[in-house]
Every structure is written in C-alpha cells, then in structure tokens.
Structure 1
Amino acid sequence: MLVGCKDSYEGPAIPEVPVNEQINVTSLQYPELRRDGGYVYLNAGYKGILLVRQTASLYTAFERACPYDPTSACGQVKVDQSNLFIVDECCGSQFNFQGNVTSGPAVYSLKQYRTSLSGNLLYISN
C-alpha cells in the first residue's frame, strides 16, 4: 500500500468536511487516470476534489477551494486548458501539479487529502 499525503495543512481556514472516497482507478468511468498527468474532478470535499495521477502508484488529491479566498463563490481551482498548471480563474492564482503556488495572489499551497492505493482501489480521506 502506498500513501501520498501532507501531515498538516498550513493555510486559510477551508471549511472542514469529512472525506472518505473510494474509486477504482482502472474503471471506464476514469479513463484519464490511465496515464501519468491525467486527472479527474470528484464531487467530494468542500468545493470538490482534483485527483491527479502522478505515476501508476502515486495519486494526489487536492481540495478545489482556492486557498486565497476559499469561501468565495467563484474561488475554485481547475486544470488550465494547456494542462500545464492548475488555476483559479477568479483571483488568477496558479499552482503546479504538486499543489504549490506558482503565481499569486495566493500564498498557500492547495489543501491536499490523504491517498492510499491498494490494488486498483484508491482511497481518499482527510
């Protein structure tokens, strides 16, 4: 079993909601997760989860609420059309696929959820 997570999150107060998701990464529902750099959006977390396949054995799950202003109605990150970075079109902040800020006004990284892979099943939790 492999785990990818951050021990603590230092950033703005993103409302805490329970996250306990399980997906089959080989499911026909998620064809994007069959290649490194592929991603999907999940309806979980506070404003959604962006799940990224880093490698066949490592997945990262980010909260979609932008850390610049997480309670803003439009503060939600998504993958840019170029597929090179993650952006919040509301405030203009940009992040890399490790969740780190590459361009502000955000100064905090994206909130990351725990992931663990067991066979084809990926578990996402907080």
Structure 2
Amino acid sequence: MSRIWPLLVLLFLVSACKDTFNGPAIPEVPVSEQINVSSLQYPALRQDGGYVYLNGGYKGILVVRQSASLYTAFERACPYDPTAACSQVKVDPSNLFIVDDCCGSQFNLQGGVMAGPAVYGLKQYKTSLSGSVLYISN
C-alpha cells in the first residue's frame, strides 16, 4: 500500500496541470443587439453570404447570413492579437473570406481559420431569429 501513495500523488499532480487556455484574450463586453434582417437598412442580409457590420462588441460585430434561417455574428477583433490598434477583421472585397489586414490572417465565412498567423477562429456571438428580428448576444 505504501508504494501506491506516491503514484496517486503523482497522478493527481499531473491531472491538476491541464492547460485551460481556451483562446485569445478578447476583452468581454456586454452584447445585446437586435436588427430586422428584412429592413431596407440591411439589403445585403437578403442573400446567402451577405453581411453587415454593426457597432457593438469589443471592436464591432460582423453578421453573416449563412441561409434564410441561419445568421452568424462574429466579434471583429482578430483573435491573433485582439488588442492591437489595427486588429479588426472585415470581409475581403471578393466576398469569399474574412481578413485582418493587420496580421494577414484569413477566416472563412463561418469564422474558421483559413490562413495564419491566427490559430483560433473568430469569436462568435449567440444569434436567435424570431420572424425577421435577429437577436445577438453573449
């Protein structure tokens, strides 16, 4: 029994040292937005792949229409270096991907990394569609 104690202590110490880093340190700010996706103010949201920029979030919010019933909302701060002054993602002029001109990272329209240096995808906010009103929150 005396040989088991050191093994149990070692096992406990190894399990207690797990890496708990879940991504970049994008500052948490309260997000509670709502927009009418049928509004004349947002004509781009009437087609799949359409997008709009909103104020809110840490450095802004990018809303992308994935389908008529699914919209995604991303924080515009690039996860590579979110606190850099120039760090803000935008949709590339080709409308095929999202880019941060500051570090050169590229993301697909679902927020996943396509090219680095970023290794984490875009921070995504919760969305809920009720009729034509899209609710965005964290």
TM-score by length of 1: 0.92
Q: Residue 90 of structure 1: CA displacement? A: 0.5
- In the other structure, the counterpart of 1:4 is none
Structure with higher strand content:
1
Q: What residue ranges of structure 2 are gaps of 5+ in the alignment? A: 1-21
1: distance between equivalents of 2:42 and 2:94?
A: 20
Q: Residue 11 of structure 1: CA displacement? A: 1.3
Map Cα deviations across residues 62-96 of structure 1 (whole Å, 9 max, x no partner): 00000000000001000001111000001000000
- In the other structure, the counterpart of 2:130 is 118
Map Cα deviations across residues 30-60 of structure 1 (whole Å, 9 max, x no partner): 0000000000000010000000000000000
2: distance between equivalents of 1:75 and 1:11?
A: 16
- In the other structure, the counterpart of 1:72 is 84
- Within 5 A, what are the aligned runs for 1:1-126? 10-126=22-138
The 4+ residue runs of structure 1 with deviation greater than 6 A are: none
Q: How many residues align?
A: 118
Map Cα deviations across residues 91-120 of structure 1 (whole Å, 9 max, x no partner): 000000110000000000000000000001
CA RMSD for the aligned pairs?
Answer: 1.0
Higher relative contact order (CA 8 A, sep 6+): 1
The percentage of aligned residue pairs carrying the same residue is: 83
Structure with higher helix content:
2
Equivalent position SS for 1:32: helix
TM-score by length of 2: 0.84
